[in-house]
């Protein structure tokens, strides 16, 4: 019995949990085993249980290798819609269902959020391949309260959202040089490490290249809801978020179920992966 099945058994053995209405086991596109367990008591409760062991920074979160989220629904129809949406997203490598909008559902969850910065030696300007690997997430500070993010794709190049001198109205996902497009000699710059990440670096880089080729964002650039961080987190997490807004402090573990800037359903039908 694997860890997901063990967790399902634990939940079903708790009292009162209600009767089992539906149980589905699957594996995400990124190889993460999951279960969708639905129980019925006074209402329907749809739980998503996923084994993210190996995707967690154990130096920070030794005990968070299983993530559990559940939502409550008053009708069978709404519960079934939630079940099907979770199946569809997870099996395509999208993870919005792990972060449901708390204003839309009765919601409980166990999954903590946070980032860690690691300084990159200034010599990386001359030889970035010595210090960076394909799929690394990097940032620099371009404003007092904001940072610019990119994904390193190797050979001294990055994928990022930029106007390339054309202003914010021209900002789209594109390829640039680590230096001088992304960083300048006077900049500080870092690797960004997520406390957990659903995808492996080579997959992150491949999705970044896909987004460059097919267009991101779909909508007009917006500093608050469609920026470079939304692009990077889409590639790394399978959802869009802005950690500058979500994590006001580095190492902040946040709260489960923070609200995303917008849904990313338009990628579900593109065959992106």
Cβ distance 60 to 114 under 8 Å? yes
Has domain 115-267 been given CATH number 2.60.40.790? no
Residue 112 CA neighbour count, 13 Å, CB half:
15
Measured distance CA(160)–CA(208) in Å, rounded: 8
Measured distance CA(54)–CA(52) in Å, rounded: 6
Q: Which residues contact 12 (CB under 8 A, 6 or more apart)?
A: 20, 37, 39
Q: What angle do CA 141, 145, 147 make, to 5 degrees?
A: 30
Containing 177, the helix (H) or strand (E) segment is strand 172-177
Containing 129, the helix (H) or strand (E) segment is helix 128-131
Q: What angle do CA 80, 81, 83 make, to 5 degrees?
A: 60
How many helices (H) and strands (E) the chain has is answered by 6, 11
Give per-residue pLDDT as tens, 92-149: 888 878 777 665 666 566 555 677 889 999 999 999 999 999 999 999 987 666 788 9
Global pTM value? 0.78
Q: Where in the chain is the domain with CATH 3.90.1720.10?
A: 115-267
Give per-residue pLDDT as tens, 199-223: 989 999 999 999 999 877 666 666 6
The CA-to-CA distance between both ends of the chain, in Å, stands at 30
């Amino acid at each position: 019995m694997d860890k997901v099945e063990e967790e399902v058994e634990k939940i079903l053995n708790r009292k009162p949990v209600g009767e089992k209405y539906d149980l589905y086991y699957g594996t995400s596109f990124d190889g993460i085993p999951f279960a969708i367990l639905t129980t019925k008591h006074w209402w329907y409760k749809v739980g998503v249980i996923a084994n993210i062991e190996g995707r967690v920074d154990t130096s920070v979160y030794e005990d968070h290798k299983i993530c559990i989220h559940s939502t409550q629904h008053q009708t069978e129809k709404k519960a079934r819609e939630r079940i099907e949406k979770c199946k569809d997203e997870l099996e395509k490598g999208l993870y919005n269902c792990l972060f449901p909008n708390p204003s839309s559902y009765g919601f409980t969850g166990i999954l903590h959020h946070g980032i860690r910065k690691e300084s990159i030696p200034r010599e990386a300007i001359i030889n970035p391949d010595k210090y960076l690997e394909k799929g690394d997430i990097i940032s620099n500070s371009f404003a007092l309260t904001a940072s610019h993010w990119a994904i390193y794709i190797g050979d001294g190049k990055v994928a990022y959202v930029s106007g390339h001198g054309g202003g914010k109205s021209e900002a789209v996902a594109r390829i640039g040089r680590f230096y001088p497009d992304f960083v300048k000699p006077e900049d500080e710059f870092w690797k960004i490490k997520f406390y957990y990440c659903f995808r492996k670096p080579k997959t992150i880089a491949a999705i970044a290249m896909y987004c460059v080729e097919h267009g991101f964002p779909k909508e007009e650039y917006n500093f608050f809801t469609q920026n470079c961080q939304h692009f990077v987190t889409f590639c790394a997490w399978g959802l869009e978020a802005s950690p500058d807004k979500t994590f006001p402090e580095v190492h902040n573990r946040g709260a489960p179920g923070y609200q995303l800037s917008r849904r990313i359903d338009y990628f579900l039908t593109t065959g992106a992966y």
